[in-house]
Amino acid sequence: MNFGISVLFRAIPLMMGAICLAFGLYILSGAPDANHFVAGHVNVGLTAICYALFTTAATIIRQLIRRYGDFWRVALPASGYVVALAAVAWGIALIFSGDTAEHVVAGHVVVGVGLIAICVSTVATSSTAFTLINVSAARKPQEGPPSGAQTKPVSLLLTCIPLVCAIVGFTLTYRLLMRGDQPGYVGGHVVFGLSAICLSLTALVATVVRQIRNEFTNRERPVWSWLVIVMGSINILLGIYVLVSNDQDYRLAPGIVLIGLGLICFSILSKVLLLALVWRRRFPLANRIPLLPVLTALTCLFTAAFLFEAAGTNPAYFVPAHVMVGLGAVCFTLFSIVSILEAGTSGSS
């Protein structure tokens, strides 16, 4: 990877994060109604995911271009966790700042976004020894982990972090759905979709740390990919079910956003699938896999275009239209990450 391309792939997450932040603040300045409140806060919250993805990109790229020192090893993942925890805290503050529908929905969704950012920051942490994947791939399975790999307890801890985040998210989902009101219905379904993304990121973390430690087996090669496929499919199918379950306007936002969250799961699939396919074997089409998050990003953005037009006659489309723009930005950010992974593993592919 040359220096110019490395700068571009690090710039993409920052640019997408800046777009989410600016777009969210612009929405919030538009009007004081509930739709602007929810859409604006969610888009601002998505900035945390984009920044966490930047820390992952920078962590891997700096290793590939041999500009990775002890400072960056600590500073990049740590800053990702700080931003992620700030998002969670901001979401909690929104929840307790008012009992209106917009505070309940926006607050819980921002908390869920923060949980995803924690998971992505854990991907960055697990990738601090990313270049050892090629070293492990060249070793025999019985030779064990190479020098510098994470210890077994550390690898287990890293894998458990996104799993715990998913459990927290599903717990919040249950509590919201048990409210039995519209804010609980909307927020509960969206937080479920966010929790499914956390579970998908568990697969990515597990794949990275197990390959670094030379523990990744042929038997588990399809397992982690199928976990992400199942989570993405559940989100999309649940979103469709919500949309067709009744004719009330409040179903539109959670149904459409769930489909968008399912597309993010399939963007994550591109990374898990790539790492599995190139582990100890050649896969000629590896450089085509980065097209998957590009397609999901375009799907989100074109869907948003239609929703913006629909919002002109039905305000219920306002929130999903604006949120899908932010989800498209996250998908495109994931394109840069999978491209980096493809470049970093090409020596073993």
Name which of 37, 121, 16 is nearest 322 in CA terms: 37
pLDDT tens-digit profile, the chain (349 residues) = 678 888 999 999 999 999 999 999 999 999 899 999 999 999 999 999 999 999 999 999 999 998 999 999 999 999 999 999 999 999 999 999 988 999 999 999 999 999 999 999 999 999 999 999 999 988 898 888 999 999 999 999 999 999 999 999 999 999 999 999 999 999 999 999 999 999 999 999 999 999 999 999 989 989 999 999 999 999 999 999 999 998 899 999 999 999 999 999 999 999 999 999 888 887 777 778 889 999 999 999 999 999 999 999 999 999 999 999 999 999 999 999 988 888 877 654 3
H/E run at residue 226: helix 223-245
- C-alpha–C-alpha distance, residues 159 and 209, integer Å: 8
Give the long-range contacts of residues 275-280, CB within 8 A, separation 24 or more.
275/133, 275/204, 275/207, 275/208, 275/211, 275/341, 275/345, 276/207, 276/221, 276/222, 276/224, 276/225, 277/221, 278/345, 278/346, 278/348, 278/349, 279/137, 279/211, 279/216, 279/221, 279/348, 280/137, 280/348
pLDDT at 346: 63
For the chain, how many structural domains are there in total?
A: 1
Q: What is the span of the domain harbouring residue 205? A: 3-348
The Cα 150–Cα 136 span in angstroms is 12
Residues in CB range of 64: below 8 A, 6 or more apart: 1, 6, 131, 340, 343, 344
Q: Which pLDDT value is given to residue 344?
A: 76
CA torsion sign for 133, 136, 141, 142 is negative
pTM of the model: 0.95
pLDDT of 87 reads 98
